[in-house]
Chains A and B, each alone.
Chain A
Amino acid sequence: MAEPQDTGKAYWKANIRLVAYCLVVWAVVSYGFGLVLRPVLDVIDVGGAGLGFWFAQQGSIYVFLILIFFYAYRMNALDRQFDVQEDE
């Protein structure tokens, strides 16, 4: 059994890694697909506008939603894995 402090550190490291992955996706769909990479993505037509336009006005918001629920679900699993969850 690891020391409580080590558990805390490992838990925190796992959390930071998860947040970092999520924020990369967050930045890619909004700043990437929606703004900077739009000219590239717009080659693909979505209902008369490009895929970049779709991400800027619709897609990024849907991805944000999936990200938050994915993060919450994964964090709750991490809480249990490292035994730092709240008491019932």
Chain B
Amino acid sequence: MDLQTLTYIVVGASFALYIGIAIWARAGSTGEFYAAGRGIHPVANGMATAADWMSAASFISMAGLIAFRGYDASIFLMGWTGGYVLLAMLLAPYLRKFGKFTVPEFIGDRYYSQTARIVAVICLIVASITYVIGQMKGVGVAFSRFLEVDFETGLFAGMGIVFIYAVWGGMKGVTYTQIAQYCVLILAYTIPAIFISLQLTGNPFPQLGLFSGTEDGTPLLVKLDQTVTDLGFKQYTAQSGGTLNLVLYTLSLMIGTAGLPHVIIRFFTVPKVRDARFSAGWALVFIAILYTTAPAVGAMARLNIADTIQPGEVGTVEGSLAYEERPQWFKNWEKTGLLVFEDKNGDGRIQYYNDKNPEFAQKAEAWGWQGNEMVKVDRDIMVLANPEIANLPNWVIALVAAGGLAAALSTAAGLLLAISSSISHDLLKGVFMPKITERQELMAARIAMAGAIGLAGYFGLNPPGFAAQVVALAFGLAASSIFPALMMGIFNKRVNNVGAVAGMLAGLGSTLVYIFWFKGWFFVKGTEMMANTPDNWLFGIAPEAFGAVGAAINFIVAIVVAKATQEPPEHIQRLVEDIRIPKGAGAATGH
């Protein structure tokens, strides 16, 4: 069977599974639509959370990021997992005890302020919409690359699938599909990784293979360092960024992870407070399977690509691969435009090296090399082309396509749910039309979901110029506004309405200004106040790393302002005392 047909069958089967689950898990009440009736087993919720959290970026792009940044990319590995420690110890159990449906609802009730609730809704919607655009783009790209349909057709197919199970099943449908999607994506990720690790190191566990010896006995990482420095690139295991920046970047990602509403609401679905604690651990188990494999995938793919293009000694004529002798996977990915070769010196051989390294460029010139001829090596190839590089059968390639789609769809659905519940529950029921019945609210939630899917699709088709910058924005918003407000709401009884709003606005404002300062106001090109280079950054802190500073500003402003103003009323102090102890959590569905 040819690859095309096989891919259609595998992807089609996974979609049929998701739709089947949607029909089975229809939501009948707001409790089921927002929180799956609070009946999800902690292990199952952990699995759903892992799929919710791991996006197209985690599945497709992260290993490539590690492959090209080496050690410095450790910040993504630690930052996107360490947040679960904060979530498990500082937020999830208490918010589950509070027993409501949305993140802004907690902020509004705890700070007895509609203003606080609305500020939280705005942060949530901006962070989630920007994040969902990337997923929709991922769906379109995966479709067009593997099934060779138009980007638009792929996007509409993805929207249609999400529409069916998210509008119909709400949190209940989304949870069970996410569990299925996790299984698809983790198989698709680990199978090629295991084979590549076996081929390079003889160890079936990529986590161990990364630190094992290769065929000739040299450790893999030593060999990789040697290979890349021979071509003028920086040493793989060396640090190149400033330490303060790396620390703050990691901290921002951790705080941002813990503050992302679509992750937090997953912990509202478990029956008990103690389930919320364990569930965060299970989520990290399922995430760690991918996150500990990713650095091995990155390093091994980088070595494979370098060894393929430079099979012999650097500098000799035969050392460079003749273009005519390039392997089949190379040709396949050239067709997609993700690998581009340009024979600059006309010798019919491929010279792949770092021509931006002046010392090495001089040496290369002496060899008759006239610039790096691999003019494009897209990072995403590291995962997508893996099965072909390892000569794995076609069904594995088809599985990788289904895995990429599962990663994008599961995250999109989680984000859309966070958006629609904050519109129907916080804005409509909470602020504008408090008198609507449950049936009307459920209908409103479904309409809001449909609207959010439409909006996400629109932005997927017409991506705003800032699409690439959204990660910084989403994490910056979550870290600087939502996380501190939630944490102080639980751990500091003295913080009152005025303090919380002032803190959120100060954290949010400072972070936005810092990001816009270097990336342009509202990401409009040409409005940058300064070039986005390390020399210009305040103490060498990158805009993406500023969320942690914004969070610190939030904490300080909120506590100082609260001290200077009136203490929170008696019933709020009692509310805080109540959420601190597990006793009396409503296990049943609904309010």
Contact = CB atoms under 8 A, between A and B. Distances in A.
Contact of A61 (B280, B281, B291): B291
B288 A34 contact: no
B583 interface: yes
Contacts of A86: 272-274, 582-585, 587
Nearest to A50: B237
Nearest to B583: A84
Nearest to A39: B239
Contacts of B580: 8, 11-12, 15
B74 A48 contact: no
A67 interface: yes
Interface string B35-46: 000000000000
A48 B82 contact: no
Given A36-B243, A48-B222, A64 B292 contact: no
Given A61-B77, A64-B284, A87-B583, A22 B85 contact: yes
B89 interface: yes
B281 A48 contact: no
B515 interface: no
Nearest to B81: A61
A87 to B, nearest CB: 7
B400 interface: no
B295 A58 contact: yes
A60 B295 CA distance: 13
Given A46-B211, A47-B220, A49-B221, A68 B284 contact: yes
A65 B82 contact: no
Binding site of B, secondary structure by majority: helix, strand, loop or mixed? helix
Interface in A27-65: 30-31, 34-36, 38, 46-50, 53-54, 56-58, 60-62, 64-65
Contact of B74 (A8, A15, A26, A34): A34
B144 interface: no
B284 A65 contact: yes
A22 B220 CA distance: 34
B88 A38 contact: no
B71 interface: yes
Contact of A31 (B212, B223, B247, B291): B247
B377 interface: no
A84 B82 CA distance: 28
B250 A31 contact: yes
B243 A68 contact: no
Chain A contact residues, majority secondary structure:
helix
Interface string B555-591: 0000000000000000000000100111111010000
Contacts of B581: 8, 11, 84
Interface residues of A, number: 41
B246 interface: yes
B250 A65 contact: no
B219 A19 contact: no
B143 interface: no
B274 A30 contact: no
B280 A68 contact: yes
B292 to A, nearest CB: 6
Nearest to A74: B277
B583 A48 contact: no
B17 interface: no
Contacts of A30: 78, 82, 250
Given A48-B222, A49-B237, A65-B288, A8 B274 contact: no
A65 B46 CA distance: 13
Contacts of A62: 288, 292
Contacts of A31: 247, 250-251
Given A34-B78, A84-B582, A48 B89 contact: no
B537 interface: no
Nearest to A5: B577
B242 to A, nearest CB: 11
19 contacts: A8-B577, A12-B580, A30-B82, A31-B247, A46-B211, A48-B220, A48-B222, A49-B211, A49-B222, A57-B77, A57-B210, A61-B77, A64-B85, A65-B288, A68-B85, A69-B278, A71-B277, A72-B88, A87-B584
Q: Which 3 A-B pairs have the closest CB atoms?
A: A48-B219, A47-B211, A56-B74
Given A11-B581, A86-B582, 11 more contacts: A8-B581, A30-B78, A31-B247, A34-B78, A53-B71, A56-B71, A57-B295, A61-B291, A65-B281, A68-B280, A86-B274
